[in-house]
Amino acid sequence: MKDEIYSDMKISMMDTPKQDDLAVEVIDNAPVTEVVNVEENNTNYVIDYSKYLGVLEIPKIGLKRGFYNVGSKYNSIEYNVTMVEGSTLPDVPNGNLILMAHSGDAYISYFAYLYRLEIGDPVYVTYAGVKYEYHVVNIYEVPKNGIVSIYRNYDQTSLTMITCTKGNDETQTVYISELIG
């Protein structure tokens, strides 16, 4: 295992990925909109997923949220789940999609329940009409100092999620998932 260093939303990719087969599920006629009901006020909202670059879905914590491309003005931790510059998309063999979001109780705390994840839990990313299945393989904490070391297997296609650690203002938690297949 090698490590990558994340600093100020910039990633330095050190290896060129090899071409391997990826395990993916093609979604035929997948809807690009979804109606969500908010029980508090019994209001239906239509979410249009077609405006996003991709969609992150974690069934265990009830999270389904789109994310934007790095160059988008909406790719900001103050608005959304944020794709970190230097990330690769799920169709890049041995690449690493790196996503960040707030935790806590604010309306933008999309990773508020990430702490409930355990090794082996599934995480899905839909990108370009393909649903990619990842499983969590490592969870660890790092000091909150502006630098995050990402420890991952460079022979695997990975998804890294980063957020503040629940109940600890001094650390961030890193969740490493690997593509199934």
The domains found in the chain, sorted by start residue, are 2-8+21-179 (2.40.260.10)
Q: What is the mean pLDDT of each run of 10 residues along the chain (181 residues)?
A: 36 28 34 51 68 94 94 91 95 97 90 97 96 97 91 96 93 97 72
pLDDT of 131 reads 95
pLDDT of 55 reads 95
pLDDT of 51 reads 86
pLDDT of 35 reads 53
Closest CA to 68 of 113, 100, 34: 100
pTM (two decimals):
0.77
